[in-house]
Chains A and B, each alone.
Chain A
């Protein structure tokens, strides 16, 4: 049996590899004489977007956004350019007019254009190209 220390060290290493920032470890002796909770917590390093949905990141950004936010109308994969390798629809600082396509969301092999409903300047792009988005995920901020 590996020592508890070794377990903690292993877990810590795994957390780094997997980008996990918090973990509860519980140690219990067979006779249940005592319980010890070890709470491992790490400084969040640069968020490397894991496969799937990054939910905490999303809610955090949502609170801070000021300006007009274009949100995803559906669950799917968002693309910032019309096809792989092509120039993006917009960059930060681009001027957009109401009706301009700023991104695509693919769901069930259909591409749905995300169009701006206002005139303005792109202030922020909140998602990475080719990333999963949920319904209502903020995509682009326009000012």
Chain B
């Protein structure tokens, strides 16, 4: 069994710290890599060694495969942890890492190819028995075909041009009459717009929630699935707040889905950490995509299950066995994560700059994963997430109360953050009563904006 004694972390920010911490807990030495913009960054300070790999632009530093490999070889690291983003889902890089005799802490290149690409992933998902959004299995040529498919799938449905994309060449249809009317129109439209009138049909989900299941698989065929995370509060596909477990599910729905995911992960011989993402509507799950890496929101699962997922990733990469089974995983209480971004809480314009005072919240059940400190200047080159506040309590209501306390305590001065928005969300009755879906937050924000404008007008009158 290969032993991992030194890990190079090919990332920056809070996730680099997260991995460094897991390594130190395991007695493993760490190598940080950094760009010239990050020379004062926390991950550089905390790692045992650090190597400057390039200038500020990610393409020349954190995405610079050759620089990262060279740094790993020169520091005699045995393994590379990619964190999330950057090189974490690049199959070609994973192969290079292995060719140089290094261990990749993540799923292998084949798995990333199979599940990282959305079209491939859906095919694999179907083969492995995961529920997918029902649709016509191919092109729909005539209105008669269309009506038959729509009956089979169930209204409402979405007619899509095969050549379309980015929201163009799509039309939602609620019943057969509308379908008769719209079908020839979309066909003609896609002919003129894309030069191709091939159409297909998919079930339209109106109010889906985003629910995902965490997978861990070792190299000996053992797989466990952790109970789900609800990440429905999103803005522009960016998650703002995540919970574990999803309180909308019944225990039966949860258990059934864990069983389905476990069978699928075993079938695809999944190794290391990954996540099956689903849309959930009307009591049913529909496969969305798979993330073949650690996710930003992994801490909520850690808090509820008491397992260090990064430690598990490293153990699995070293060839160790999981050492526990599905029945050993016991959920305890409820956890919520808040992504604190250095952004204006109303306009979401990034607000990099110097943090003059940083005093994170603490106390029982509060965990803050962050890489900033008082006096740190947030570079404008990278993403704006500066901290994750993870709150854990016995129940969801208790967790919400503790979260209000934790966000209230959190002091960050010198820059604007999204904390005021997250406080508002916690007070909202829809959020509290789980009356939300993937589109809820954007609606909420546009209403807030309108109200803001109205009160501005009242003031000026």
Evaluate contact between A136 and B36: CB separation under 8 angstroms: yes
> Does B397 sit within 8 A of A, measured CB to CB?
no
Evaluate contact between A136 and B69: CB separation under 8 angstroms: no
Give B75-110 interface residues, CB cut-off 8 Å to A: 75-76
> Does B67 sit within 8 A of A, measured CB to CB?
yes
Evaluate contact between A107 and B53: CB separation under 8 angstroms: no
Q: Given the complex, which residues of B lie within 8 Å of A107, measured CB to CB?
A: 66-67, 70
From A134, which residue of chain B is reached at the shortest CB distance? B52
Distance A108 CA – B53 CA, assembled complex (angstroms): 13
From A76, which residue of chain B is reached at the shortest CB distance? B70
Evaluate contact between A52 and B70: CB separation under 8 angstroms: no
> Does B190 sit within 8 A of A, measured CB to CB?
no
> Does B55 sit within 8 A of A, measured CB to CB?
yes
> Does A77 sit within 8 A of B, measured CB to CB?
yes
> Does B49 sit within 8 A of A, measured CB to CB?
yes
From A137, which residue of chain B is reached at the shortest CB distance? B52
Q: Given the complex, which residues of B lie within 8 Å of A4, measured CB to CB?
A: none
Question: How many A-B residue pairs lie within 8 Å, measured between CB atoms?
Answer: 47
Evaluate contact between B70 and A108: CB separation under 8 angstroms: yes
Q: Given the complex, which residues of A lie within 8 Å of B55, measured CB to CB?
A: 135-136
Please report the total number of A residues contacting B with Cβ < 8 Å: 15
Which of A51, A77, A136 makes the CB contact (< 8 A) with B52?
A136
Distance A55 CA – B50 CA, assembled complex (angstroms): 8
Distance A137 CA – B66 CA, assembled complex (angstroms): 17
Chain A 76-116: CB-based contact to B (< 8 A → 1; otherwise 0): 11000000000000000000000000000001100000000
Evaluate contact between A135 and B52: CB separation under 8 angstroms: yes
Q: A52-B75, A107-B70, A108-B66 are in contact. Are A75 and B53 (CB under 8 A)?
A: yes
Q: A108-B69, A135-B67 are in contact. Are A52 and B52 (CB under 8 A)?
A: no
> Does B310 sit within 8 A of A, measured CB to CB?
no
From A77, which residue of chain B is reached at the shortest CB distance? B74
Distance A51 CA – B73 CA, assembled complex (angstroms): 12
Distance A110 CA – B50 CA, assembled complex (angstroms): 23
Which of B36, B67, B76 makes the CB contact (< 8 A) with A74?
B67
Q: A74-B70, A132-B74, A135-B36 are in contact. Are A52 and B54 (CB under 8 A)?
A: no
Distance A77 CA – B75 CA, assembled complex (angstroms): 11
6 additional A-B residue pairs with CB within 8 Å, beyond A74-B70, A135-B36: A52-B76, A75-B51, A108-B66, A108-B69, A134-B53, A136-B36
- A-B pairs, top 8 by smallest CB distance, nearest first, are A134-B52, A107-B70, A75-B70, A135-B52, A108-B66, A132-B74, A75-B67, A135-B54
Q: Chain A interface (Cβ within 8 Å of chain B)?
A: 51-53, 55, 74-77, 107-108, 132, 134-137
